[in-house]
A = this chain, B = another copy of it.
Amino acid sequence: MLQIGRDVYLFDSGLMDLRERFPMPAADEVEAPRLTAIFQTHYHADHAQGLLSLRWGEGMSLPVYGPDDAVGFADLYKHPGILDFSHTLAPFQCLTLVDNDTGSVTVTALPLEHSRPTLGYLIEVSKGKAIAYLTDTKGLSPEVLALLRAKAVDYVLVDCTYPPGVKAKGHHHLHEALALVPQIPAKAFYLTHIDHSLETYLIQHPEQLPTGVQLAQDGMCFDLSVA
């Protein structure tokens, strides 16, 4: 999730308890965090299943930004409830979330290489940092690599699902993910979408993670407000 002031932008919705995590603040709770929009990378179950219960409500509309996917997930398009799936993003489309005296925050959709239409997201804070969220994907297109190189990206979160040698469609094994590191001039890389088999492998082979690359953890925070 990305939080700007009280506005919370959720990136993917695979958790099953989103209603409990993001209750709608009462009218007089003027500073309480509130879920403002959702960015979907794609519509596989593990990234979208939390929307099944989050959708039921009244008197509000929650925009869902995501790839142009004709199918979506389960019956979400048929019974969207409070969710508005009309906000599909074209590859490389840039959305401005904030633009005022204190600066701007933009989100750029990056087409990824997966078994379903999938977008990564580059979040840029004008007077702060930039972070790229790149899951689920196997490889990055020359256009995406060129864009990431052109930007001063600070942090890269990238799909790394399996130990070396495991061939999988749409996900990196460790060596495939690490092959991207020298291609993007970022301050730090974080591996995400980690299968239990990769975690076990890295406990046994900790030396396989080079300097500047680490496993992403649940609850990890990045302060993007300062350059």
Contact = CB atoms under 8 A, between A and B. Distances in A.
Contact of A74 (B16, B50, B74, B79): B74
A203 B44 CA distance: 41
A104 interface: no
A73 interface: yes
A179 interface: no
A74 B53 contact: no
Contacts of A44: 75
A183 B220 CA distance: 60
A79 to B, nearest CB: 8
Query: Interface size bucket, A side?
Result: 10 to 19
Interface in A1-51: 16-17, 44-45, 49-50
A82 interface: no
A196 to B, nearest CB: 9
A53 B75 CA distance: 17
A62 interface: no
Contact of A52 (B17, B45, B79): B45
B73 A16 contact: no
Contact of A45 (B16, B17, B50, B74): B74
Contacts of A79: 45
A17 B19 CA distance: 12
A52 B73 CA distance: 12
Contact of A75 (B16, B45, B50, B52): B45
Interface of A: 16-17, 44-45, 49-50, 52-53, 73-75, 79
18 contacts: A16-B16, A16-B17, A16-B50, A16-B52, A16-B53, A17-B17, A44-B75, A45-B52, A45-B74, A45-B75, A45-B79, A49-B49, A49-B52, A49-B53, A49-B74, A52-B52, A73-B74, A74-B74
